[in-house]
Structure 1
Amino acid sequence: MQNGSKTSDRSWNKMAISDPLLRELQTILKKLKEEPKPITDYCVLLKPLCETLERILRKGLKQPGSLFGINKRDYWSWMESTPNYVCNDKYNPFLNRAIDLTKSSPKLRTLQGRGRCFIRLALAKKIVSVPVEHLLRNARLTEYWYDSGLSIIANPPLGEALMALLFALTDINFELDIKNASFLDESWVIPVYKRLELVPCTSLGMTIRYLDNRIFVVKVEENGVAGEDNKIEPGDIVDELYQESLYGCKQGKVNSLLREHQGWPVYVSVIKCRLPDGTIYPPLVSRIKKLKEELKEFEVKKLNKKGPAPMPAHALLPQDYPEQAPVHDPEGKAEFNAKYVGQVSTGRYGDVAEIEGAVEKAIEQNKQQQITENKEVHVELTETEVIITDLKTNKELSKHSYTEISSCGRRSDMTKYFAFIAGDTQCSVSRNFTAFVFEAESADESKIILCSIAQGFGRTSWFV
């Protein structure tokens, strides 16, 4: 068996493996190695990988005799107790952190869900081999949990082959949304998860219904904050509000949190009812059917035959159009040239609804002042801020952190023009907002710049 270091001389992909589950894992691993980009939640190989790992961990797992299976075990049963059996000098601190995070998640209620959450964490943190390695170092513990005649883990040759494959998995970059865990109790299929920051408001403009310990959106007002740009739609689930999980919460919790944070932006995380391909998320099919039977007004929006309705240009996120997302340099910057049209005060309002009027007003101001040529500027989008520089004089015209920017977007009828709105301090407390309007070289570049600004929001949240 390997002892904590990755194998190089022994090539995992040329190993002769007899167990069908290990061969399946080996095949998936080969395909993952060929992927040019990090593996995300929507990679088609992720689900079969996780399912195969789960079957391997369950194979030969001993079940103690118990009445009605009350004490039934799962692989998480031994994983969560691993720190109790590891010497301090050989212990991986990342393992302890991953176990603690899994235990503390309010979104998981079953051994299966916690085990699945841990597998996703272990893949993302490159420690998927660590718990198995610790278990195999303790022969008595391995024998206690696994049947050597049935399992892969407790069979020395197969256990060694498994460790080689698990070590190889740590070479792959997994970029998984660990907080997207609310349905791991039921399914390995990961739903679309959206984090939104809505403008301060007294009402979100939507009707909710509690079903199976979850908060379903059953109706959205067309002109309400939640309904803007189809951010939240009927059939979606409100998963978090102000970073508090709403799974299993008491009725009235939503209104209580809104009152508690009155005057502040509304931070909400939503599980979308549809997957990226437009189909209903499988665990929601029966629940949506039940809601339709109980509520006549409830209806999930229909899709066009070609697929999901296109998002407005200013609502594009990099994950929605990954081929259009800008490529940042090694320092995490994206840089563009554009023309500065002007700035327009939007008063106390910084939401995206102000963009359309601000663009039109900035253009009209230039006409009135007989400005025929807009100033050429350099737009630099760093990890934390947007910097605008005059190309001719090299003078910095403005600098705004993403915490000061409340929204960004463009008009649908003048797609070369784009704008962002910023407050005179952090937008969550600012009462004085200004729209900065620009003209890109093309409509496509305007879209890419907005995607890049959205990436900046994505490192915290996207202001819309």
Structure 2
Amino acid sequence: ITQAVTELAKEYRETGEPITDDSTNLHKFSYKLEYLLQFDQKEKSTFLGTKKDYWDYFSDCLAKIKGANDGVRFVKSITELKTSLGKGRAFIRYSLVHQRLADTLQQCLMNQRVTSDWYYARSPFVKSHLSADIINHLYELNEVQFDVASRGHDLDASWPTFARQEQLLKDQQLNSLQHVMLSSLNRAGTRFLLCRILMFCLVQFQQFQPKLYKQLSF
């Protein structure tokens, strides 16, 4: 995770632009942080059997801390997210944008009772020297600006791999292609319908005006 943080900070310094979902360094960081949050995590589930994840850990830690639960309330308001994993990803992205990821995780780790209830002994979160090192590196991201949305992506399925602008362009291209195809189908359908009407008229004409039809045929 430390190398991923270093690469993100370096990318921001070199480009001077906010980090977006186009960044491969962000992809690496997201996967590594998620792995860390899930490593040696105790299995928990809701009353209905739905699996809990690190989102529920954050919720348990921050629910009663004033000023620290804004992100929790925000994620809970996103109705499109259905899984604990998706909500956790949205929460991480919210924390990155607001430069509060290190503070948030530190507040959680300070709550040793909740942390030990969520993680087994092999997790670095229950080892003070390792957790302190992780937090110190995450504070480097407070100097990095992120332009990543918590809405508009299927975070239940996976981390985004491209920025919203690119997604918008792809959607526009797809809509344009669909429009062309529908227009072609409509034109073809219109021609087919006209042919059917013409054939129907000819059949009716032949049936009710057979003599005139024969004369016209010649």
Q: What TM-score do the two structures reach when normalised by structure 1? A: 0.34
Residue by residue, what CA displacement relative to the aligned partner does 1:177-235 show, whole Å, maximum 9, x if unpaired? Answer: 33333x11111134553598xxxxxxxxxxxxxxxxxxxx8xxxxxxxxx7xx483458
2:128 to 130, 135, 156: 156
1:232 partnered with 2:202: no
Cα distance 1:60–1:153, how it changes in 2: closer, same or farther (>3 A)? same
Cα distance 1:44–1:81, how it changes in 2: closer, same or farther (>3 A)? same
1:50 partnered with 2:21: no
Cα distance 1:164–1:65, how it changes in 2: closer, same or farther (>3 A)? same
Matches within 5 A, 1:129-208: 129-147=102-120, 149-181=121-153, 183-193=154-164
Separation in 2, partners of 1:99, 1:65: 19
Identity %: 25
1:81 to 40, 49, 60: 60
Task: Specify the alignment match of 2:19 in structure 1.
Answer: 39
1:27 partnered with 2:6: no
| Contact map agreement 2:75 2:91 (CA 8 A) in 1 | yes
- The secondary structure found in structure 1 opposite 2:175 is coil
Separation in 1, partners of 2:79, 2:88: 14
Deviation at residue 71 of structure 1 after TM alignment:
4.7
Instruction: Give the structure, 1 or 2, with the largest relative contact order (CA under 8 Å, sep 6 or more).
Output: 2
Residue by residue, what CA displacement relative to the aligned partner does 1:402-425 show, whole Å, maximum 9, x if unpaired? Answer: xxxxxxxxxxxxxxxxxxxxxxxx
Unaligned runs of 5+ in 2: 179-184, 186-218
1:110 partnered with 2:83: yes
1:123 partnered with 2:96: yes
| Contact map agreement 2:102 2:139 (CA 8 A) in 1 | yes
Cα distance 1:192–1:163, how it changes in 2: closer, same or farther (>3 A)? closer
Deviation at residue 96 of structure 1 after TM alignment:
2.1
Deviation at residue 76 of structure 1 after TM alignment:
0.3
Deviation at residue 79 of structure 1 after TM alignment:
1.0
Matches within 5 A, 1:254-403: none
| Contact map agreement 2:2 2:134 (CA 8 A) in 1 | no
Deviation at residue 106 of structure 1 after TM alignment:
2.0
| Contact map agreement 2:42 2:118 (CA 8 A) in 1 | yes
| Contact map agreement 1:41 1:177 (CA 8 A) in 2 | no
Equivalent residue letter for 2:115: T
**Which is richer in strand?**
1
Separation in 2, partners of 1:130, 1:153: 14
- The secondary structure found in structure 2 opposite 1:81 is helix
| Contact map agreement 2:53 2:84 (CA 8 A) in 1 | yes
Q: What TM-score do the two structures reach when normalised by structure 2? A: 0.69
Q: Looking at CA atoms only, which structure, 1 or 2, has the larger radius of gyration?
A: 2
Separation in 1, partners of 2:127, 2:23: 32
Deviation at residue 33 of structure 1 after TM alignment:
2.0
Task: Specify the alignment match of 2:210 in structure 1.
Answer: none
Cα distance 1:233–1:107, how it changes in 2: closer, same or farther (>3 A)? farther
Separation in 1, partners of 2:176, 2:57: 41
- The secondary structure found in structure 1 opposite 2:94 is helix
**Which is richer in helix?**
2
- The secondary structure found in structure 2 opposite 1:45 is helix
Residue by residue, what CA displacement relative to the aligned partner does 1:86-105 show, whole Å, maximum 9, x if unpaired? Answer: 3xxxx4x2x42211111111
| Contact map agreement 1:28 1:45 (CA 8 A) in 2 | yes
Unaligned runs of 5+ in 1: 1-24, 197-216, 218-226, 236-296, 298-464
Aligned residue pairs, count:
172
Cα distance 1:104–1:45, how it changes in 2: closer, same or farther (>3 A)? same
Q: CA RMSD in A?
A: 2.8
